[in-house]
Structure 1
Amino acid sequence: MRSWEQVYQKWSLNSELDEKLKFELDQEKSEQALEDAFYKELSFGTGGMRGILGAGTNRMNIYTVRKAVDGLANYLLVHRVNVRDRGVVIAYDSRHMSREFALEAAKVLGVYGIKAHIFQSIHPTPLLSFAVRYLNTAAGMMITASHNPPNYNGLKVYNENGGQIIPQEADQIVQYIDQVKDELSISIKEQSDLEKEGLLYWIGNEIDHAYLERLKYISQMRSSFASKKKDLSIVFTPLHGTSYDLVTKGLEQLNFTNVHVVEQQAVPDPEFSTVESPNPEEHQAFEMAMDLGKQKDADILLATDPDGDRLGVAVKNKAGDYQVLTGNQLGVLLLEYILKHSNLSIVKNARIVKSVVTTELAEAIADSYGVELINTLTGFKYIGEKIQQFDSTGETFIFGFEESYGYLISGFVRDKDAVQAAVTATEMAFYWKGQGKTLLDALDDIYKVHGYYLEGMSSLTLNGKEGARQISETMEGIRLQENAAIGRFRVVAIEDYLVEERTVLGDNQTDRLELPKENMLKFILEGNAWVCLRPSGTEPKLKYYYGVCGQDKQDAEVKLEELKQEMDSLIKSTMTVMA
């Protein structure tokens, strides 16, 4: 009998298995589906864990959640102080099983005498990050799968600083998780006992109020001006997720009263029934917002993803149609707006932080203001880690962002925050409207000064055990090639984050990269162009990013399409060779 079959048999023959999961196993007749559900354990990393809902060790269910939380509890008791008194705060989104998984986590923590603070209702990820610091808990957990399809869910872990756990912490937690040999026999306490013993505390609105109070102070407007009503028409959709209350209240605090909510998408819905994908990066997610925007003659459209940590924005172009800004475009607009309104003679050692796959235009803008920009690996956990370091170095965080629609304006949250970003983007649109410009006009002004930067991202989805092998072998195949050029773009330098080296071609000089190890390759090309490849940490995808700088929009678009095609060919040819 194959190893996965033995695990399957253990589950299917367990008389106390959850009834729904037992029924699912009894109904599944596909051997391939069963193998995929049991051939491995759902991986736990810096993003916690995320996967398809269902029965199996490679699925999100009450047993895989219990195992992860059991390992986390043991890790905390060894590596943190006053864990039982401080407890762990848990939030959850609108997905299937989110509230149930939050309660399962509390049931496991309670066995160890660790108090759980759980929000009474759905809340966005940034509020979980804020709550960790506000309550001074030993850790935090967010039950969410972000913008994945409806059949996914996940569990993200936050450290005591309010940031997502970093690789060293994740590795240590995994060691404790691996000590749990039988996920089906983990001890739990019942909810009634937890509440009776003071090990389960339900959070009301107090943290929302504290967050909103802090949110007031990120505005770049003078307080006397912030109190006045503003003639800006806004359409907002939370895409069936968690951010409705905080975004609308945050806008109301700055007297943006002309806010029109897409009512069909304001209702939490784990099926995300009005969109193909609840991802503001996908233009189809804006369809209903655009329809309402035309009815209300809206100046700006805002869309947040289900767990409220990513923001998409659309504005009218000269043809009168709504154009969705890319994550890079919105990021540089926010960066320029914040720097333009910051008194840099008072703000000492100001720092901007972005990921290595985010637009290089950010560095050009930062340089023009004399502000240092710091690059991190992909993942907002690394930006959160930098902010924590700034607390002891005397540096001042003033903005951080990633191309994947993640932004943070103020460090009172240590993860990307769509609420902060929505309020600031609205304020920014209002400012530029007062100057007779749209956000697209302001973006064109930036391009005229610094050059026309464009970026793109493609991904190749490769599911299951075979897909994971193909992704790994493709990365290794490209790493072994001697790429002096990608198409007509000459390679200037290669950054290999797996071996932490940067090699400058021509003089064959190699320097150490001062960033953590990751299976990622970046090729620096001539003319401010670049490409970067990395396996996704949360999805079965090989992602490749590319960026160019052109003399104008047409020149940049031609270069970007050419570079995309060259990357498509490189990936395809490498996969063929490695097959």
Structure 2
Amino acid sequence: MDNWEEVHEKWTSFQNLDPSLKKELDHLAGDKKKLEDAFYKELTFGTGGLRGVLGPGINRMNIYTVRKAVNGLAQYLKENTVNVYDRGVAISYDSRYMSQEFALETAKVLGAYGIRSYVFDELHPTPALSFAVRNLGTAAGVMITASHNPPEYNGFKVYNEDGGQITPAEASEIITFIQQTENELTVPYLERSELDNKELLNWIGEEIDNAYLEELAQISRLDDDGIKREKDLPIVFTPLHGTALELVTKGLRQLNFTNVDVVKEQAAPDPEFSTVDSPNPEEHQAFTMAIEEGKKSNADVLIGTDPDADRLGVAAKDDAGKYRVLTGNQLGSLLLDYILSHSDKAILTNGRLIKTIVTSELGRKIAAKYGVETIDTLTGFKFIGEKIRQFDATGETFVFGYEESYGYLISSFARDKDAVQAAILACEMAYYWNKQGKTLHDALHDLFEKHGFYLEGMSSLTLKGKEGSEKIAAIMESIRKEPLAEIAGLKVLEVEDYLSGERTFPENGSVEKIKLPNENVVKYKLDNDCWVCLRPSGTEPKIKCYFGVCSSSNQESVETLESLKTEMENVMNQV
């Protein structure tokens, strides 16, 4: 790549530079560190797409980096997709700054290639985009979102014709075409009026919502009478200023849930996410307002979705009557058990649970009880979607997919994690257990008593910018060069290095191949069914360390988990 100062000069001297970006560059003039960070490298197009901070520069999300990505996507589709011009591309967007603008920019560049676009006429969830690709039969899909990242971020996610996130192989080909685009400032595009004149811009209205809701109704495990029965279970819902309000409330109405309170202060879309520190249901502070609302209405269950509605958090009352947020692993285990216990045994004969390598092993235990095989994938729902697609050929039956980071899929009419589906079934599950005189926490305790007290945790280090990237690389290099023999007194039984694709057994030095794609991840399997996994985030400037433990008591699991976290945090900080 050219020297960053040369790239900066190219931008500042470009006569037709977008006025708002030019103004920002003028404001940054003289701040060499910030300018270098904006121009020293291109914003990485990962296995799902782009995600980054908004602003001018090739290492930022702006109309030019979006246009360059779309240019590569368009060329890839021309080379690899049948009838792309007529089938077109579906496009959706969330409530973030520039989301609607980036959606239209996507259509403009596709239009320059004669490729039709189908754009939602208002913001919509990620799962609705995934569904639209399948329903409309488009050649691909694009979702403008940065999920639960802070307000200064936005992103560009690409979906294949199956409605799943693009696979690593597909991403690699798209990246090749993107890299062939020499100048992001001069990517061809059509103006809005030209798109209209050539009938290359089509707006998606309520017809897709209605089709989605029809499919959503089918995920219920209730019989016809159960669906028709009015359900007054008190529910509080917060969309956290995002996209889920309409589909979730309509979905609950379909099942005759009549006592649903929406957190009014968080109902309207807001790119600042002004009522929360982070619009992420993984962060318990995001439930602060929902908990206050729940206290007023004595709600049985609280549900919260992230801005693009692909992640769901749930809180329920514990033994002391206080609302406690379930972890992603806990909610996934509860949903899995509810689904399998209410499924035809004949269907489960060939059934498959799909989870990631950092997701709780409790799911495997539950699935085995019902005769369902568990398949592990790398971290990222794209791998779960890819597996579901393979089932079309193998004849295996998808019964549930989930990951620890609050992502769930119940029915494969969508092919990415779907918080709308999960929200509806979580409320139905809470209603079922309520009729048995139990809360969700009671049901969870029953699972622990049956299968063991599985607890999981995660620590992360945020290391921003060029210097941060180098530190993250140093931590992973250190772990590989000097593998740990024991962690918190627990002996290392296996070391799985997914970058080399090898599983090593320290006791005898034997090595075997891992049958998963290569990725920068190291996992330690320890005594007593415990494990630790280190992984740099693909979407945030973080390195994450995951932990899993199991014992015969909650107290023992809590203590072991804390010991693992303390030791691994020390390891990362020392490096």
TM over 0.5: yes
The structural deviation recorded for 1:369 is 1.3
Please tell me the residue identity of whatever aligns with 1:22.
K
Partners of 2:35 and 2:520 in 1: how far apart?
29
Moved more, 208-217 or 506-515: 506-515
Partners of 2:421 and 2:539 in 1: how far apart?
24
Partners of 2:279 and 2:110 in 1: how far apart?
32
Partners of 1:85 and 1:365 in 2: how far apart?
45
The structural deviation recorded for 1:192 is 1.1
Partners of 2:232 and 2:63 in 1: how far apart?
49
Partners of 2:512 and 2:566 in 1: how far apart?
30
Question: 2:4 aligned with 1:9, yes or no?
Answer: no
Partners of 1:340 and 1:355 in 2: how far apart?
22
Instruction: Give 1:102's aligned residue.
Output: 103
CA contact (8 A) 1:47 1:537 kept: no
Alignment of structure 1 residues 328-339 onto 2, 5 Å: 328-339=329-340
Instruction: Give 1:54's aligned residue.
Output: 55
Q: Secondary structure at the match of 1:560?
A: helix
Partners of 1:470 and 1:274 in 2: how far apart?
33
Instruction: Give 2:460's aligned residue.
Output: 459
Instruction: Give 1:355's aligned residue.
Output: 356
Instruction: Give 2:237's aligned residue.
Output: 236
Q: Secondary structure at the match of 2:277?
A: coil
Alignment of structure 1 residues 402-421 onto 2, 5 Å: 402-421=403-422
CA contact (8 A) 2:409 2:418 kept: yes
Partners of 2:272 and 2:332 in 1: how far apart?
30
Q: Secondary structure at the match of 2:70?
A: helix
CA contact (8 A) 2:303 2:314 kept: yes
Moved more, 421-430 or 472-481: 472-481
Partners of 1:236 and 1:401 in 2: how far apart?
21
Partners of 1:388 and 1:482 in 2: how far apart?
36
Partners of 1:154 and 1:346 in 2: how far apart?
38
Partners of 1:175 and 1:405 in 2: how far apart?
32
Please tell me the residue identity of whatever aligns with 1:371.
V
Instruction: Give 1:395's aligned residue.
Output: 396
Q: Secondary structure at the match of 1:231?
A: coil
The structural deviation recorded for 1:572 is 2.1
Q: Secondary structure at the match of 1:374?
A: strand
CA contact (8 A) 1:462 1:470 kept: yes
Partners of 1:358 and 1:219 in 2: how far apart?
25
What does the per-residue CA deviation read over 1:59-95, in whole Å, with 9 as the maximum and x for residues that have no partner? Answer: 0000000000000000100011100010000000000
Q: Secondary structure at the match of 1:218?
A: coil
Alignment of structure 1 residues 126-525 onto 2, 5 Å: 126-525=127-526
Q: Secondary structure at the match of 2:218?
A: helix
Structure 1 unaligned segments of length 5 or more: list them: none
The structural deviation recorded for 1:56 is 0.4
Partners of 1:482 and 1:385 in 2: how far apart?
32
The structural deviation recorded for 1:353 is 0.2
Q: Secondary structure at the match of 2:376?
A: strand
Question: 2:24 aligned with 1:24, yes or no?
Answer: yes
Partners of 1:539 and 1:453 in 2: how far apart?
27
Q: Secondary structure at the match of 1:210?
A: helix
CA contact (8 A) 2:236 2:299 kept: yes
Question: 2:78 aligned with 1:81, yes or no?
Answer: no
The structural deviation recorded for 1:231 is 2.6
CA contact (8 A) 2:347 2:397 kept: no
Partners of 2:424 and 2:224 in 1: how far apart?
15
The structural deviation recorded for 1:474 is 1.1
Partners of 1:492 and 1:511 in 2: how far apart?
14
CA contact (8 A) 1:408 1:420 kept: yes
Partners of 1:246 and 1:570 in 2: how far apart?
44
Please tell me the residue identity of whatever aligns with 2:290.
A
Please tell me the residue identity of whatever aligns with 2:23.
F
What does the per-residue CA deviation read over 1:296-317, in whole Å, with 9 as the maximum and x for residues that have no partner? Answer: 0000000000000000000011
Please tell me the residue identity of whatever aligns with 1:142.
M
Instruction: Give 1:528's aligned residue.
Output: 529
Partners of 1:275 and 1:420 in 2: how far apart?
24
Q: Secondary structure at the match of 1:239?
A: coil
Partners of 1:369 and 1:566 in 2: how far apart?
37
What does the per-residue CA deviation read over 1:474-505, in whole Å, with 9 as the maximum and x for residues that have no partner? Answer: 10110111322112010010111001111122
CA contact (8 A) 1:348 1:395 kept: no
Partners of 2:556 and 2:514 in 1: how far apart?
32
Residues 502/228 of structure 1: CA separation in 2 closer, same or farther (3 Å cut):
same
Superposed CA RMSD: 1.0
TM-score by length of 1: 0.98
The structural deviation recorded for 1:7 is 0.5
The structural deviation recorded for 1:2 is 7.9
Q: Secondary structure at the match of 1:165?
A: coil
Partners of 1:474 and 1:184 in 2: how far apart?
36
The structural deviation recorded for 1:366 is 1.1
Partners of 1:535 and 1:44 in 2: how far apart?
15
Instruction: Give 2:113's aligned residue.
Output: 112
Partners of 1:153 and 1:566 in 2: how far apart?
34
Q: Which runs of 4+ in 1 moved over 6 A?
A: none
Moved more, 477-486 or 212-221: 477-486
The structural deviation recorded for 1:140 is 0.2
Q: Secondary structure at the match of 2:511?
A: strand
What does the per-residue CA deviation read over 1:340-397, in whole Å, with 9 as the maximum and x for residues that have no partner? Answer: 1111224441000000000011111111111100000000000000000001110000
Partners of 2:341 and 2:509 in 1: how far apart?
40
The structural deviation recorded for 1:469 is 1.1
The structural deviation recorded for 1:186 is 1.1
CA contact (8 A) 2:349 2:371 kept: no
Alignment: residue pair count: 574
Structure 2 unaligned segments of length 5 or more: list them: none
CA contact (8 A) 1:47 1:538 kept: no
TM-score by length of 2: 0.99
What does the per-residue CA deviation read over 1:270-314, in whole Å, with 9 as the maximum and x for residues that have no partner? Answer: 000111100000111000000000000000000000000000000
Partners of 2:459 and 2:89 in 1: how far apart?
37
Please tell me the residue identity of whatever aligns with 2:15.
S
The structural deviation recorded for 1:52 is 0.4
